[in-house]
Every structure is written in structure tokens, then in C-alpha cells.
Amino acid sequence: MNGWIEFRPQHIRLQGIIERYLLRRLTPLRKSYSARILPRSGPSLFIDLGRTSDVDRFQLNGLHETFYCMPVEAGVQIDQIIVEFTPGALRSFSSVPMPLLRSQLLPVYELFGTPQEWSSLATALIPHLPERRVLFLEEFLMAKLKEGQRTERLIYDIVHEMKQTNALHARAELERRSSYGIRTLERQFLDMTGMNRRSLLAVFRFERARDQLALLEKESAGQSLTGIALDAGYYDQAQFNRDMKRRTGLPPGRLRGEIPACDDC
């Protein structure tokens, strides 16, 4: 994964909000270096400690459904952290409607915290090793958590169940579980996650296939692609191939669940 070190959230209150932390620190020798960042079902916070401006250091990437690249010049030290949130998790920190963040990159303090607080966090993170950085980050994020409302908790449950079952809930079931009508719940779902239920399920389907591809050996990948496609919920391998190419820029046989180098972005 191009030098990324992965950590899972430690604090129990953050385990349903943050999927994982990715950290890397290196100096590329190549003339150009970039990482292919794959689509996710939730937003991501990018922290680039190599930047001098706090506006560029802390940026929140809204929902994205196709890959993009992070280029870096040769000889420039990379010192980056990615915080991958679960779908709808930013509602725990900000009331900004998530559709406004779709496919956007903006300073995180426009959603929560102040520029001074994020600048102080950067000062605290820079001198430490990855394990300590995660602890500082969790302490900072815990202080920013706000109490969730009943409807928000219901949407969290719906998102979790969709991911586990790889299926949509029946409208009658949602109406039974909600104190509002189905249309109100659908609007709140879109407001909180940035996607409607069907679009979010499609990204979950992609993530499921991506994770299974990561388990394949390169020489046997072609033998199992059809099985992965059907298990993830695709109609057939042709649909699977089209979706993977659209979302990642690569066919499934080349992707294999990794985040490969991208020199032509």
C-alpha cells in the first residue's frame, strides 16, 4: 500500500465512527509519485504534515465514487495521515449536510474545530511516531464529539445493517422503525450520509469486492473473479468489470484490492 501503516480506532466511542487510520512518512526518489485513492462509502480526513499552511494540512474529502491520485514531487518528504470515517459519521461532529461535501476537498475547520485548534494539533502530531499520533488524534476527536439524536442513531443502524446484509431494507420495515414517514427518513438519510440508500449500497458492493480481491493470489485471480462478482452482489462478471474500471481506473485482475502506484494521473 505504498508505505501506509494501518491502525484501527482504540476508543470504544470512535470504533463505530472511524473505520481506520492510515499513516505514512517517506521521501520518494522517483521524479513523480502518487497514490491511487479508491472510492469509499464514507468521507476521509487528509492530514498532510509536510505542508506549511494549515489550510492545506487538514482537508476533508467528501464522498467520492471514482478514484483520484495524490501526486508528490521527487525528494519532497511525505508525512501524511488519512482518517477514514464510516458513512454518516461526520454528523457526530458537524450538522453540515453531507451532500454538500460530495466529491469535494475543503478545510476541515469549515465543519468543526477552529483553525487554531487544528494548528495546535499539527504541532502535537509532528514529532511523534505513528502510534502516538493516533492517540493524539483520538483525544482531539473525542473532545469534538456531540450527542446524537434518535433519528441519527436509527440511520447508523440502517447503514450498518445494509453493509452486513448487502441488501436494502423494505420500505414497510423502515416506516415501522421510524417515527417519521419514509420520505422524511430518506431525506435525513441523504442529509447524513451524502447518498441515497441505493447509491450507498452500490459503494458497499464495490468495497466488498475490493476486499475479496485483496485476498487473491495474482496467478489465480482470473479463476475467481466471477465468484467474487456474484458474492459481492453484481449481476454478472461483465457488470463487475465495468463498475471496477469506472471506480478505480483499473480492471479487477490488476486491482486485486491494493492501492497501486499511479504514474499517469
For 155-214, write each residue's pLDDT tens digit: 999 999 999 999 999 999 998 888 778 899 999 999 999 999 999 999 999 999 988 887
At residue 133, the 3 state secondary structure works out as helix
Task: State the Cα–Cα distance between residues 109 and 126, nearest whole angstrom.
Answer: 19
Residue 21 gets the label, from left (phi > 0), alpha (psi -120 to 50) or beta, of beta
Long-range CB pairs of 134-140 (<8 Å, 24+ gap) are: 134/7, 134/10, 134/21, 134/23, 135/10, 137/21, 137/81, 137/83, 138/9, 138/10, 138/11, 138/14
Answer whether 42's CB lies under 8 Å from 104's CB: no
CATH 1.10.10, domain 199-255, yes or no: yes
Return d(Cα 101, Cα 90) in angstroms, integer.
Answer: 11
The whole-chain average pLDDT of the chain stands at 83
Q: Which of 20-34, 56-70, 136-150, 246-260 has the highest mean pLDDT?
A: 136-150
Dihedral sign for Cα atoms in the order 54, 55, 56, 60 = positive
Q: Which amino acid is at 230?
A: L
Residues of the chain with CATH 1.10.10: 199-255
pLDDT above 60: residue 257: no
pLDDT above 90 for 234: yes
Q: What is the pTM of this model?
A: 0.81
Phi, psi of 18 (to 5 degrees): -115, 130
| Choice between 187 and 3, residue whose per-residue pLDDT is larger | 187
Cα 42 from Cα 37, distance rounded (Å): 13
Phi then psi dihedrals of residue 99, to 5 deg: -60, -25
Q: Are 7 and 23 within 8 A, CB to CB? A: yes
The pLDDT confidence band at residue 219, using thresholds 50, 70 and 90, is very low
Phi/psi-derived region of residue 213, left when phi > 0, alpha when psi is between -120 and 50, beta in every other case: alpha
In terms of Cβ atoms closer than 10 Å to its own Cβ (0-12, 13-18, 19+), residue 156 is buried
Higher pLDDT, 262 or 90: 90
